[in-house]
Amino acid sequence: MHKSIPYGKQFISEEDINAVVESLKSDFLTQGPKITEFEKAFAEYVGSKYAIAVSNGTAALHLCTLALNVSEGDKVITTPITFAASANCVKYCGGEVVFADIDPKTYLIDYNKVEKLLESAPIGTYKGLVLVDFAGRAIDLEKFSLLAKKFNLWIIEDACHAPGGFYKDSNDEIQNCGNSKFADLAIFSFHPVKHIACGEGGMITTNDEKLYQKLLLLRTHGITKDASLLNENEGGWYYEMQILGYNYRLTDFQAALGLSQLKRADEGIIRRGEIAKTYADFFNNKEYIISQSGFVEGHAYHLYIIQTLKRKELYDFLRSKGIFCQVHYIPVHKLPYYKDLYKESKIFSESEKYYNNCLSLPMFPTLTKDEQEYVMFEIDNFFNA
């Protein structure tokens, strides 16, 4: 009998532990030199100009909607198949979330449905797009950026699932998730289930200096001590709170952990790709599989998803075998908070079909060959019994 296998798991090495211990012995507990080092290394990793470390991915999203001045009644479009936080960041600022259905082939927001929404309303109705690299599959931001230009929208890329992911643009050039070439801002999470773990943690990346400066202020109460930014200067102690900000700082020892984990990020992506390839080949001709993530270039494989008509039965069966799969996600518009908010019950048929059938299989770099074979064997066993 195998010990239980979760769908995702962090990997903390001796090196990671040493990095944290070393940081704890330094003079800095909250923001110190490790933050700057982590930000620099992360910006380099994704290919963006700036990176701002924050306390978690949700705080990153909130700072983005604040920096983009989302306000009362502003309409923002996102996908129903994501973690609730992708939508909540709009609500935090009093905005209104409008969902557009997914493309059943990619499980990502459907470009054509977004275009239709935009074309069916006067220009200026919508303010922005929160686009999610769901499961780790890079969304074609170049294509969406043209739409954004035409309709005067900003773009936040929710890249929580996709550090290390990429797509190829119309010039066949590689565009890394979060490089902010075709988005105003991108965000990441360092929750243990994500690729890089800090315990809690998040990152915003951007190429826009103005947004970067504003995000720095917003991260720390809207307070600055930077002499070049002060309206007045009454002495060495003097600071100004210039806008209403928050305390969304990451600690230095968390940054030390993130930095150490980042060094293994490429290794992790390679291993995730191998696991995905094995699943893709195994399920390729199985008649009980309606659809699967498959093997896609540039996919970061945060999740590996299969779809089957017997999802619930399969989920329960695998649990009884110690295999703990998960469902990603309950469509956001079906969550009680959003259901109550939008009294008229909207139907997004592709998202709902997807939700009824989807299951995320174990996917993490330390999943052994033996464990993966056991997972595949038990799935086959369920359907052939």
Ligand X SMILES: *Cc1c(COP(=O)(O)O)cnc(C)c1O
Cβ 281 to ligand X shortest distance, Å: 27
In the chain, DSSP assigns E strands to 50-54, 75-78, 96-99, 126-132, 154-158, 166-168, 174-176, 185-189, 202-206, 223-224, 240-241, 291-292, 304-307, 358-361
Cβ 66 to ligand X shortest distance, Å: 15
Cβ 14 to ligand X shortest distance, Å: 25
In terms of phi and psi (left: phi > 0; alpha: psi -120 to 50; beta: otherwise), the region of 223 is beta
- Nearest CB to ligand X, comparing residues 23 and 56: 56
- Nearest CB to ligand X, comparing residues 86 and 206: 86
Provide the binding-site residues for ligand X, judged by CB under 6 A. 56-58, 82-83, 85-86, 132, 158, 160-161, 189, 191, 202
Helix (H, G, I), strand (E, B) or coil at 2: coil
What is the number of other CB atoms lying within 10 angstroms of the CB of residue 132? 24
CA distance 362 to 104: 22
- Nearest CB to ligand X, comparing residues 114 and 139: 139
Cβ 204 to ligand X shortest distance, Å: 12
CA distance 60 to 214: 13
Cβ 227 to ligand X shortest distance, Å: 34
Cβ 158 to ligand X shortest distance, Å: 5
- Nearest CB to ligand X, comparing residues 128 and 378: 128
- Nearest CB to ligand X, comparing residues 137 and 321: 137
- Give exposure, 275-284, as e/b (b: 16+ Cβ within 10 Å): bbebbbebbe
What is the number of other CB atoms lying within 10 angstroms of the CB of residue 94? 12
Angle at 178 between CA 176 and CA 180, to 5 degrees: 95
Helix (H, G, I), strand (E, B) or coil at 203: strand
- Nearest CB to ligand X, comparing residues 83 and 283: 83
Ramachandran angles phi, psi of 235, nearest 5°: 145, 180
CA distance 285 to 289: 8
Cβ 81 to ligand X shortest distance, Å: 10
Radius of gyration of the chain (CA): 21
Q: Which residue is nearest to ligand X (CB)?
A: 57
Cβ 133 to ligand X shortest distance, Å: 8
- Nearest CB to ligand X, comparing residues 248 and 374: 248
Cβ 361 to ligand X shortest distance, Å: 17
- Nearest CB to ligand X, comparing residues 43 and 162: 162
Cβ 125 to ligand X shortest distance, Å: 25
- Nearest CB to ligand X, comparing residues 265 and 314: 265
- Nearest CB to ligand X, comparing residues 189 and 292: 189
Helix (H, G, I), strand (E, B) or coil at 271: helix
HSE of 124, CA atoms in CB hemisphere, 13 A = 1
DSSP 8-state code for residue 50: E
Return the HEC string of 86-142: HHHHHHHCCCEEEECCECCCCCCECHHHHHHHHHCCCCCCEEEEEEECHHHCCCCHH
Examine residue 329 and say whether the peptide bond preceding it is cis (omega within 30 degrees of 0): yes
Handedness of CA 71, 243, 210, 189 (dihedral sign): negative
